[in-house]
């Protein structure tokens, strides 16, 4: 059974710092992996999607990498800003492409001015 | 930018009552989903829907739940007889094949 784990559960950094959020999954047979941002009491905003054949994706200050064989993904945030404060979720989609996503618990990030 | 919308934003109901949560997916998407998030817990998959039928459902999605696409734009989740443990945030999502899933803002369901 696929399980997704995110470490750390919470992270507090000063503004301007570069940081890495970690996501691991137990079964390397995934279709793709998606990173989301969730603000308190709000919906999920898609940040990056990495297909299983890709190694990384970049969008602005965000870079996500995928190492399928080791069951890991990282989300790198460069030059963090207070507006980056949110919970970051990773989710894997399984082969068969029914679209089911399995989510991690999330990392809650606080960027202090 | 197109987005998924959900109504209502908050629904309060009495245990045993039926509720219908509504979603308008992004117009050119063909895949539709419902997820839920109990406070403080992971986001959980409920059901996926494609070509007017359920393509996968979780063990949570029992006979009390149903989904429907009554017209070309709406996608609904019905809970027939709500229980206290159904209290959660319910998210609708849509996607094109193999592409990013876009989530709505959610409906907070409170069962009293």
- Tokens in use for A23? 């996501």
Please count the other Cβ atoms lying within 10 Å of the Cβ belonging to residue B8.
Answer: 13
Per-residue pLDDT of chain A (113 residues; tens, 9 = 90+): 899 999 999 999 999 999 999 999 999 999 899 999 999 888 899 999 999 999 999 999 999 999 999 999 999 999 999 999 999 999 999 887 677 899 999 999 999 99
Place of tokens 């399980």: A3
Q: What pLDDT does residue A95 have?
A: 81
Partner residue facing B100 (CB), from A49, A98, A104: A49
Give A-chain residues touching B101 at CB under 8 angstroms: 34, 46, 99, 101
- Pairing between strand A107-112 and A10-14? parallel
Nearest CA in chain A to B96: A99
Please give the Cα distance from A19 to B79 (Å, whole number). Answer: 42
Paired tokens of B20? 């219908």
The rounded mean pLDDT for chain B is 94
pLDDT at position A97 is: 61
Residues 6+ apart with CB under 8 A from B1: none
Q: Rounded to whole angstroms, how far apart are CA atoms A75 and B89?
A: 25
- Rounded to an integer, what distance in angstroms lies between the CA atom of residue A94 and that of residue A71? 13
User: Cβ separation of B103 and A31 shorter than 8 Å?
Assistant: no
Show residues of chain B in contact with A104, CB under 8 Å.
42
Write out chain A residues lying below 8 Å of B102, CB-based: 46
Per-residue pLDDT tens over the stretch B56-84? 999 999 999 999 998 878 999 999 999 99
Is-contact B25 B3, C-beta < 8 A? no
For A22, B24, B34, B72, the CA distances from B76, given in Å and listed in that order, are 34, 9, 9, 12
Average pLDDT over every residue of B46-57: 92
Report CB contact under 8 Å: B42, A36. no
The residue whose two tokens read 């039926």 is: B18
Q: Could you read off the pLDDT of B13-38 as tens digits, one per residue?
A: 999 999 999 999 999 899 999 999 99
Decide if A61 contacts A16 (C-beta within 8 A): no
The Cα A60–Cα A45 span in angstroms is 15
Best CA proximity match to A89, nearest among B42, B40, B101: B42
Q: CB contact, 8 Å: A40 with chain B?
A: no
CA distance B67 to chain A (A): 16
Does the pLDDT of residue B98 top 90, yes or no?
no
The alpha-carbon gap from A74 to the nearest alpha carbon of chain B, in Å, equals 18
Buried b / exposed e along A49-68 (16+ C-beta atoms within 10 A):
bbeeeeeebeeeebbbbbeb
- pLDDT computed for residue B2 by the predictor: 82
The residue behind tokens 């876009």 is B102
Predicted pLDDT at B5: 95
Find tokens 């930018």 and name the residue. Answer: B1
């Amino acid at each position: 059974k696929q399980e997704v784990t995110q470490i750390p559960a919470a992270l507090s950094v000063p503004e301007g710092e570069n940081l890495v959020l970690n996501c691991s999954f137990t079964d390397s047979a995934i279709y793709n992996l998606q990173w989301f941002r969730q603000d308190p009491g709000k919906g999920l905003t898609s940040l990056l999607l990495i297909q299983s054949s890709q190694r990384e994706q970049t969008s602005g200050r965000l870079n996500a990498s995928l190492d399928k064989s080791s069951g890991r993904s990282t989300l790198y945030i460069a030059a963090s800003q207070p507006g980056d404060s949110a919970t970051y979720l990773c989710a894997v989609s399984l082969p068969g492409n029914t679209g089911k996503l399995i989510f991690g618990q999330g990392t809650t990030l606080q960027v202090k001015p | 930018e197109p987005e998924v919308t959900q109504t209502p934003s908050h629904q309060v109901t009495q245990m045993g009552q039926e509720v219908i949560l509504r979603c308008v997916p992004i117009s050119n998407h063909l895949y539709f989903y419902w997820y839920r998030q109990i406070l403080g817990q992971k986001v959980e998959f409920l059901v996926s829907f494609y070509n007017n039928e359920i393509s996968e459902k979780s063990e949570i999605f029992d006979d009390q739940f149903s989904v429907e696409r009554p017209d070309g734009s709406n996608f609904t989740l019905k809970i027939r007889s709500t229980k206290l443990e159904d209290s959660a945030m319910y998210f609708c999502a849509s996607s094109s094949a193999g592409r990013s899933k876009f989530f709505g803002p959610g409906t907070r369901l409170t069962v009293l």
